């Protein structure tokens, strides 16, 4: 993702008027802000003048006017853009996007076809993978969504890499001028199996195909069509993301103490006094100081009890040429 068109040559330059900045307020709170010399950003932490951001490097910590709070000013990467973009449709998230970019074997200079632009979440990552000389052709059947996506890509500096067109790919297939031109192709459609014949005409030999489908019945029919149209090395996967929560907790370090019956307050005071006096036990070996309940504070990690479950199935296949 680029801040402005000229950022391609100098991605580490300071923040400038007109740049897109991701304002980080917290782990689960980020917003996309277009910098304006006369603009202000207001949140619960205070008021921030845009003119004070200009000239600062991305990654800077900005303090509010009254000094009561701060935010981080981050460069708009595809991963952060996915977290803050306006949803016009359901979108793909980082876990699925990472697998798509990896298994489509994308590289700088590659040509990618996409059908189902939606909110542009995946498209932005595709563009970064093929930059600076590659091309992403993305198609959206809904005219207004296609127009909004094209405007966003241009505003975010991706206009040279991404071309958006309004077209019903399920009904009409990909344009003839793209036949034999694609190194990779991605479908996010209700009926991807209907587009496989057109995809076979577009993907070059040894090129990769991917479809995203929420239902296994869609996967089954798509795989049948892929097998009938010269695709091999088919694989389907479901990506489930599990996050861990890291925190400090009191843990029992003495097994016998933790399994013993509860003590009365009087017994606990006696034990604590004896420990402080250093008596008891015959004096054999060094004595360890421990809390009265035999516990210690430790850093632990456990799975977060909530999160996204099933999103969809990713089906990959490779275009091959059969020799008789």
Which residues are known binding-site members for S-adenosyl-L-methionine? Answer: 119-122, 140, 168, 188
Nearest one of 176, 181, 198 to 189, comparing CA atoms: 198
- Measured in whole angstroms, the distance separating CA 3 from the mean position of its chain's CA atoms is 18
Tokens of 319: 């275009």
Helix (H) or strand (E) holding 31, with range, is: strand 29-34
Residues of each annotated binding site? 119-122, 140, 168, 188
Exposure string for 183-217, b = 16+ CB within 10 A, e = fewer: bbbbbbbeebbbbbebbbebbeeebbbbbbbeeee
DSSP 235-273: EEEE-----EEEEEEEEE--HHHHHSPPPPHHHHHHHHH
In angstroms, the Cα distances linking 212 to 36, 39, 41 are 38, 40, 38
Greatest C-alpha distance within the chain: 91
Name the residue with tokens 């003495």: 254
| DSSP H helix total and E strand total for the chain | 9, 15
Strand partners, 115: 139, 187
Q: Do residues 138 and 119 make contact, with C-beta atoms less than 8 angstroms apart?
A: no
What is the spatial distance between Cα 202 and Cα 18, in angstroms, rounded to a whole number?
A: 38
What is the spatial distance between Cα 323 and Cα 229, in angstroms, rounded to a whole number?
A: 14
Tokens of 294: 């035999």
What is the spatial distance between Cα 162 and Cα 120, in angstroms, rounded to a whole number?
A: 10
């Amino acid at each position: 993702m680029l801040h402005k068109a000229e950022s391609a040559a100098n991605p580490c330059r300071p923040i400038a008027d007109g740049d897109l900045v991701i304002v980080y307020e917290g782990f689960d709170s980020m917003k996309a802000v277009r910098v304006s010399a006369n603009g202000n950003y207001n949140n619960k932490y205070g008021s921030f003048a845009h003119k004070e951001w200009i000239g600062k490097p991305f990654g800077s910590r900005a303090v509010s006017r009254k000094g009561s709070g701060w935010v981080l000013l981050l460069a708009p990467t595809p991963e952060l853009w996915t977290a803050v973009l306006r949803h016009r449709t359901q979108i793909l998230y980082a876990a699925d996007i990472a697998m798509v970019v990896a298994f489509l074997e994308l590289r700088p200079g590659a040509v990618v076809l996409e059908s189902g632009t939606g909110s542009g979440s995946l498209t932005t990552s595709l563009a970064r993978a093929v930059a600076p000389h590659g091309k992403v052709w993305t198609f959206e059947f809904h005219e207004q969504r296609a127009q909004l996506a094209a405007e966003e890509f241009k505003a975010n500096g991706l206009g040279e890499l991404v071309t958006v067109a309004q077209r019903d790919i399920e009904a009409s297939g990909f344009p003839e001028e793209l036949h034999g031109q694609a190194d990779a192709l991605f479908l996010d459609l209700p009926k991807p199996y209907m587009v496989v014949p057109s995809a076979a005409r577009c993907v070059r030999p040894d090129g990769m195909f991917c479809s995203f489908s929420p239902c296994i019945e869609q996967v089954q029919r798509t795989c049948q069509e892929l097998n009938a149209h010269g695709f091999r090395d088919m694989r389907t996967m479901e990506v489930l993301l599990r996050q861990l929560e890291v925190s400090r907790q009191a843990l029992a370090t003495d097994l016998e103490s933790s399994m013993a019956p509860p003590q009365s307050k009087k017994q606990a005071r006696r034990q604590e006094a004896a420990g402080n006096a250093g008596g008891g036990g015959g004096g054999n070996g060094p004595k360890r100081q421990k809390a009265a309940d035999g516990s210690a504070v430790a850093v632990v990690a456990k799975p977060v009890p909530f999160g996204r479950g099933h999103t969809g199935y990713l089906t990959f296949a490779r275009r091959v040429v059969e020799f008789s």
